[in-house]
């Protein structure tokens, strides 16, 4: 399956380059979709290019949900990796807690690169589809603002949910008390 990155195609050569990446079946589907798009555009001449409330809501949902998954995985992996590095390697390598957290962040970012496809595929199973919008609608300030706010919202919610491993860690004070209790026995 081809994943098309969103970037403008500015000339015929770039368009040809993009089409070479599709299979024959995908090229046929694209051709049919383009014919339909031309017909729809001809029919909709004079129709407002403003983003409706329903379209904005669908655009927000489509962009927020994957970022909840990204934020969740990113924060969870960073916390688990950072804690492991701090507890297991921190003393051995004389790492500060912040250095362990930074290394945990590197682990999390690398994992995020590998997991991005799976998050998108998982979200796709819920049937959340990108709303069908015209090029004018997609390029509008409202669509850009909605998309960016949805991603920021989703990432924030995901990061908050991804903090759940913190419930299972003991702080240094609790560890010290347990050590004292063990020594007293």
Count of beta carbons in the 10 Å neighbourhood of residue 97: 13
pLDDT at residue 152, as a whole number: 98
At 16, is the pLDDT very low, low, confident or very high (cuts 50, 70, 90)?
A: confident
Q: Pick the residue with more confidence: 30 or 37?
A: 30
pLDDT at residue 107, as a whole number: 96
pLDDT above 90 for 1: no
Q: Give the DSSP H/E element, type plus range, for residue 183.
A: helix 172-184
pLDDT at residue 3, as a whole number: 53
pLDDT at residue 135, as a whole number: 84
pLDDT at residue 29, as a whole number: 86
């Amino acid at each position: 399956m081809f994943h098309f990155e969103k970037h403008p195609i500015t000339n015929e050569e770039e368009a040809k380059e993009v089409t070479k990446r599709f299979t024959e079946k995908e090229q046929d589907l694209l051709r049919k979709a383009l014919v339909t798009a031309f017909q729809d555009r001809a029919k909709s001449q004079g129709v407002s290019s403003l983003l409706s409330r329903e379209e904005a809501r669908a655009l927000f949902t489509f962009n927020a949900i994957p970022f909840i998954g990204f934020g969740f995985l990113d924060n969870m992996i960073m916390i688990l990796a950072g804690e492991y590095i701090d507890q297991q390697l921190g003393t051995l390598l004389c790492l500060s807690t912040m250095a362990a957290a930074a290394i945990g962040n590197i682990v999390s970012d690398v994992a995020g690169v590998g997991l991005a496809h799976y998050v998108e595929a998982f979200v796709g199973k819920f049937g959340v589809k990108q709303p069908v919008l015209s090029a004018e609608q997609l390029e509008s300030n409202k669509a850009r603002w909605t998309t960016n706010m949805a991603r920021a919202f989703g990432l924030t919610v995901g990061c908050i949910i991804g903090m759940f491993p913190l419930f299972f860690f003991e702080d240094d004070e609790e560890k010290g008390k347990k050590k004292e209790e063990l020594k007293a026995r």
